[in-house]
Amino acid sequence: MALIFAWSAAFLAWAGSAFPTAVFWLTLLLPPLFCTLGYFLRRQAFWILGFVGLVGLAMELAIVGKFLLGLGTLALALFSWDFAEFSRYPSSEEKEIWRMKLRALCWSAGAIGSGLVLAVAASFLRFSLNFWVLLGALVFLWLLLRLWLREMQNLYGAEAKGKRSLSRPTE
Amino acid sequence: MIWSKARVEFLAFLFLVGLGLALRHPGLLVLAIPLAWHFALGVAFAPGNPQRKLKCERTVQPRRVREGEEIRVSLALRNEGKEAFEVFMADQGFPGFTLVDGRPWETRLLRPGESFDLAYTVRATRGVYRFSAVTVEVKGPLGLLPWRGEIPCPAEVVVLPRYEELSRLELPARRTLPIPGTTRARRGGLGLEFYGIREFRPGDETKRIAWKAFARRGIPVVVEYEEERAADVAIVLDVRAKAYRGAAPELFDHAVRAAAALAHYHLRQGHRVGLLKYGAYLDWVFPGYGKRHEERILRELAEAQLGESEVFEELGRLPTRLILPGSLIILVSPLVLGDEEVIGKLVARGYRVFVVVPDPASALLLGMEESAEAELSRRILGLERWTLLRRIRRTGATVLEWDVRQPLAPLVRRIRPGFRVWR
């Protein structure tokens, strides 16, 4: 299913660009190809490349002014990204896989759908902000997240700090 | 280190926002919103540390097996929390395990109160395997920030060495214990074998009177049988890695099996058996009797491993003070040059020494096809060992050179006291 979403995202990006036939546009195939490789070779790195590539395609659509198509591509990329996890964890029972996929689908659809609604709603907002205010906000947000992620890292078992005795005698 | 999915999403979001700001393109900034929202939800619903919520139980059936037998490992993971987890569970593996059936990993969705079972069958090589925990990965609904860790799930399985049943080994110790057994004590008493006749003494049973001899001699005489008593047997297993060089671990496994067979045989005969693992360390199982003691010895043999130590490099450090004089010492070792002197000293001190020498050449050839080259190499190695064994033979020890491709029992059955070397 992850591959279907990945190829759909690439197709949407191609359709959004009015089906160009120039050789350069073959690079559109690279992100879903990476996803396909990630699926068959079970390599997370390929999935990451594929996802980043699909986000890049969405970005390209947004830059050329096809904002809604860009959002659609991004949504499909996120669906593909969420479902990529299942290529890593096979289960012996088909029923279990479907159960988990259904749950993931509901959560993904909820998260991505609400994100799309927020994005579309935000696109209707009209306000102007000073560039430096925006940059400052971004830096502040980034620092906040860094701090929070560090907390999470400690919570999830980072390396222990402090004095520790050696388990073997020193020479 | 934050896991890749969360990191990639976060970096993609930062890139979109950064590029949007740099290009002053509101479309890119808006495009970052679904990504940020997905990331935020994924992090918000990421599972906490589930170690207190997940409980694991392990069942190993049977807990005690012989080499080559199958072990069924069952795991039950239960969610005692109030939230559902998507769990990937993988059991720890051991190099000595070969998977026969099932698989030691599984992914499931665990709702509160639910549990799932995982079962697999393995065939194990000799050893004591201590399971400590299962590796668990718990993911939230969007798969961001998964928790990876271990859930304690201890169990132990002992894989004992496979050994042959020895039917007979006529190699008595030089000194016996005042306990009934099967070793001839070279003294008259209660037994089965005829020992001699002597004059009747008050208190002797009349049924033991030898009437024909009485008629011939004119004085009453009684028949005496050779008393059979238990003896002290010390089995010394050589765990010096240098002794097995080139043929370990197969040869060592054969040596362990031989030691197990000899221990089992002597305990069954009612002897007091001790085990000494000599080489990398000194591991002494004090002599004892019975089935529980046999279990103790087999367990020690299951755990036996090769090693190296400068202190115990030579056989000369054998702690003979632990072994009573006159005992039967059974040394199971492929031997190295220099060991013959120590064996000679043991014989001189009054021990009866029986050396079981698993043939390294035969172990090397075990997996090879029969060919002229293989036969030639075997003969060259055999000649080298012949010199060593001849020296040991001269010390008065009984030597059994064992081609490990052949069963041990028939060779042991042929041994008689007085014969020195059997091949």
Alpha carbon separation from B357 to A156, B156, B360, B402, B415 (Å, rounded): 55, 32, 9, 6, 14
B165-177 mean pLDDT = 79
Separation in Å, CA of B298 to nearest CA in chain A: 30
Confidence of residue B258 (pLDDT cuts 50, 70, 90): very high
Reduce the DSSP state of residue B253 to 3 states and report it. Answer: helix
Q: What value does the mean pLDDT of chain B take?
A: 85
Res B226: pLDDT: 77
Phi, psi of B352 (to 5 degrees): -95, 125
Q: At what angle do helices B4-23 and A44-63 cross, to 10 degrees?
A: 20
If you average pLDDT over each of A40-49, B43-52, B299-308, which comes out highest? B299-308
Q: Three-class SS string for chain A?
A: CHHHHHHHHHHHHHHHCCCCCCHHHHHHHHHHHHHHHHHHHCCHHHHHHHHHHHHHHHHHHHHCCCHHHHHHHHHHHHHHHHHHHHHCCCCCCHHHHHHHHHHHHHHHHHHHHHHHHHHHHHHHCCCCCCHHHHHHHHHHHHHHHHHHHHHHHHHCCCCCCCCCCCCCCCC
Q: Does position B128 have pLDDT exceeding 50, yes or no?
A: yes
CB contact B133 to A (< 8 Å): no
Averaged pLDDT for residues B191-218: 85
Q: What is the pTM of this model?
A: 0.72
pLDDT of residue B387: 86
Residue A136 has pLDDT above 70, yes or no: yes
Closest-CA distance, A101 to chain B, in angstroms, reads 10
Residue of A nearest to B26 (CA): A123
Chain A contact for B149, CB < 8 A?
Answer: yes
The per-residue pLDDT for range A97-123, each reduced to its tens digit, is 777 778 888 888 999 999 999 998 988
Residue A63: which of B27, B43, B147 has the nearest Cβ?
B27
Q: pLDDT category, B273, cuts 50, 70, 90?
A: very high
Instruction: Look at B208 and B293; give whichever has higher pLDDT.
Output: B293
| Yes or no, beta carbons of A74 and B35 under 8 Å apart | yes
User: DSSP letters of B132-191?
Assistant: EEEEEEEE-TT--S-EEEEEEEEEEEEEEPP-PPP-------SSEEEEEEEEEEEEEEEE
**Contact assignment for A55 to B25 by CB distance below 8 Å:** no
Distance, in Å, from the CA atom of A113 to the CA atom of A99, rounded to the nearest integer, reads 21
pLDDT of residue B311: 85
pLDDT tens by residue, A39-91: 888 788 888 899 999 999 999 888 888 888 889 999 999 988 888 865 555 55
Q: Which of A85, A129, A147 to mutate to test the interface with B (most CBs of B within 10 A)?
A: A85
A133 → chain B, closest CA residue: B21
Of the candidates A70, A97, A142, which has its C-beta nearest B27's C-beta? A70
Contact A156 B23 (CB under 8 A): no
Q: Do B142 and A111 touch (CB under 8 A)?
A: yes
CB pairs under 8 A between A and B: 125
Mean pLDDT computed over B398-420 = 80
Nearest chain B Cα to A155, which residue? B49
Banded model confidence at residue A13, pLDDT cuts 50, 70, 90 = confident
Confidence band for A162, pLDDT divided at 50, 70 and 90? low
The SS3 assignment for B396 reads: coil
At A156, the pLDDT band (50, 70, 90 cuts) reads low
What is the per-residue pLDDT for B1?
A: 42
Nearest CB among A59, A82, A115 relative to B34 is that of A115
Q: What CA–CA distance (Å, rounded) separates A20 from B254?
A: 72
Question: Which residue of chain A comes nearest to B33, CA vs CA?
Answer: A119
Nearest-by-Cβ selection for B8 from A51, A70, A138: A51
Q: Which residue out of A5, A46, A59 would a mutagenesis test of the B interface target, given it has the greatest number of B Cβ atoms within 10 Å?
A: A59
Q: Does A151 touch chain B (CB under 8 A)?
A: no
Predicted pLDDT of residue A171: 42
Predicted complex: ipTM over 0.90 = no
Closest by CA to B126, choosing from B149, B91, B101, B94, is: B94
Within 8 A of B38 by CB-CB distance, chain A residues are 78, 111-112, 115
Q: Do A115 and B149 touch (CB under 8 A)?
A: no
Across B103-130, average pLDDT: 87
User: What confidence score (pLDDT) does residue B293 get?
Assistant: 92
The whole-angstrom distance between A16's CA and the closest CA on chain B is: 15
Mean pLDDT of B157-169: 89
How does residue A93 score in pLDDT terms, banded at 50, 70 and 90?
low
Contact between A112 and B38 using a beta-carbon 8 Å cutoff: yes
Q: How far is A128 from chain B (nearest CA, A)?
A: 11
Whether the pLDDT of residue B232 is over 90: the answer is no
Q: Which of B76-90, B216-230, B363-377 has the lowest mean pLDDT?
A: B363-377
Q: Please tell me which residue of chain A has the smallest CA distance to B37.
A: A115
- Greater model confidence, A3 or B177: A3
| Nearest-10 Cα torsion for B356, B357, B362, B364 | 120
Q: Which of A16-25, A153-162, B245-254 has the lowest mean pLDDT?
A: A153-162
Q: What is the pLDDT of residue B202?
A: 87
Q: Determine the average pLDDT of the residues in B268-290.
A: 88
Mean pLDDT across A5-9: 86
> In the prediction, which pLDDT does A91 show?
58
Nearest to B351 by CA among B173, B84, B182: B173
Which of A55, A122, A131 has its CB closest to that of B30? A122
Shortest distance, CA A115 to any CA of chain B (angstroms): 4
Mean of the per-residue pLDDT values for chain A? Answer: 79
Q: What is residue A114's predicted lDDT score, i.e. its pLDDT?
A: 94
Q: Which residues contact A156 (CB under 8 A, 6 or more apart)?
A: B49, B145, B147
- How far is it, in rounded angstroms, from Cα A164 to Cα B345? 50
Q: Which residues 90-109 of B have a C-beta within 8 angstroms of A?
A: 103, 106-109
What's the confidence (pLDDT) of residue A88?
55
B3, B5, B16, B21: which to substitute to probe chain A, counting the most A Cβ within 10 Å?
Answer: B5
Q: Nearest CA to CA, how far is B166 from chain A (Å)?
A: 44
Q: Which of B4, B21, B25, B35 to mutate to test the interface with A (most CBs of A within 10 A)?
A: B35
Interface of A with B in 90-149 (CB under 8 A): 90-92, 96-97, 99-100, 103-104, 107-108, 111-112, 114-116, 118-119, 122-123, 131, 134-135, 138, 142, 145, 149
Give the mean pLDDT of B265-291. 88
The whole-angstrom separation of Cα B423 and Cα B421 is: 7
